[in-house]
Amino acid sequence: MDSKEILSEEESQALRQADLQAATEDQDAAQPEGRIRELHPDHWERIVADRVPALESIGERMVSLLKTTGREFFRRSVDVTAIPARTHRWGAFARRLPVPTSLNVLLIQPMPVKGVVCLDPEFVFSLVDVFFGGNGEGQRAIESPDFTPMEIRLVRKFVNRVAEDMREAWRPFTDLQFELGTSETNPIFASVAAGAEAVSVSGFKFEFADKELLLQTVLPARLVEPIRYLRDAGQADASAGETAKWRNRLREDVQEATVSLRAVLAETRISLRELTAAKPGDVIPLELPPSMQVYAGRQPVIEGNFGVSKGRNAVRVIRLIDRQALGEKYGRNH
């Protein structure tokens, strides 16, 4: 049996709100030692509803881009306001959409996922009204059960521009291609996820004269999660000083690290037969080169001359073999 036949969405919300109030009251009271506090059923939804800096930045970029797009299609200056992104279950969100709603599926590449651009009926009517010379401020007939071919055609033209704006807004974080797929009015055919899966819904309110029109973008939560804590270059300025401080501190710590060195006085080659036939007392002739190399692991770092200093074997440094590896690029050239 479908869960919707047992409880409606409004009843479910009421029960969850009551549970939340009860949970809050329980938290205020002292918990007996050793007692396990129950987890609220809405716990995970409230976690994924945290702020996402990347989406906020994308929303700001979208506002700027949509103002230009809106001015082109509505033939007037349009004020666009971003509605903060919220996480919903796709099934619950789809049930709250007005009928009819223009649902335009976006194919997102290279990830094998889909998104949806939702336009309310008044938005669609205003696009058509302006196209035919109106001011876009009229009201759509309530008895119109579906969109006409002309309305669908204009909506697709508009959404194609929105897809280009989305691609530009997402570019600082990841290179995605948003391509318009099918246009539907039934959420079943425009589904971006299973009913219980989470989706991120961002809204944009278009305002001109006394008219308010709503555009919503719906993207799978798994597309949003990888960029949840990313910040673009414009947001990084505030922490630039902190980043430089930690970089300098890390550089100093690395320079003070202890390195084990080994010196190779001379090398020669002999056959495996000669090596296996060697006996105590045999002599392997060596030719001492004019200089020798000192290694850190397998990396040669110093060339020098072998000698004795203060009664100990030593190497006089002639030159540094790899100055960059030794830190010259960081200001250490000695």
Nearest to 217 by CA among 230, 200, 205: 200
What are 192-201's pLDDT values in tens digits?
777 678 888 8
Percent of the chain with pLDDT strictly greater than 70: 72
**Confidence label for 44 from pLDDT (cuts 50, 70 and 90):** very low
Calpha distance 124→140 (Å, rounded):
9
Q: What is the pTM assigned to this prediction? A: 0.54
Residues contacting residue 302 through CB under 8 Å, at least 6 positions apart: 261, 293, 294, 315, 317, 318, 319, 320, 321
Peptide bond into 290 cis (omega under 30): no
**What is the distance between the alpha carbons of residues 12 and 53, in angstroms, rounded to a whole number?**
31
pLDDT at 158: 92
> Does position 50 have pLDDT exceeding 60, yes or no?
no
∠ CA 221-189-167, nearest 5°, is 45
Cα distance between residue 291 and residue 189, in whole Å:
77
Nearest Cα residue to 108 out of 33, 29, 192: 192
Dihedrals phi, psi of 74, to nearest 5 degrees = -100, -5
137 and 210 in contact (C-beta within 8 Å)? yes
Number of H helices, E strands in the chain: 9, 10
Residue 179 pairs in a beta bridge with 107
CA distances from 271 to 275, 277, 278, 279 (A): 6, 10, 11, 15
> What span, in angstroms and rounded, lies between the C-alpha atoms of 15 and 22?
11
| Type of residue at 238 | A
**Across all residues in the chain, what is the average pLDDT?**
76
| Contact present, 123 and 206 (Cβ < 8 Å) | yes
Q: State the DSSP code for 169.
A: H
Per the model's pLDDT, the better-predicted residue between 150 and 241 turns out to be 150
70, 125, 131, 132, 208 from 78: Cα distances, Å? 6, 16, 16, 18, 5
Instruction: Decide: 203 and 83 in contact? Cβ < 8 Å.
Output: yes
Nearest CA to 149 among 88, 218, 102?
102
Whether 128 shows a pLDDT value over 70: the answer reads yes
Q: What pLDDT, on the 0 to 100 scale, is given for residue 161? A: 92
Asked whether 220 and 112 are in contact (CB, 8 A), the reply is: no
Q: Which domains does the chain have, with CATH numbers?
A: 39-227 (3.40.1550.10), 258-273+288-334 (2.30.330.10)
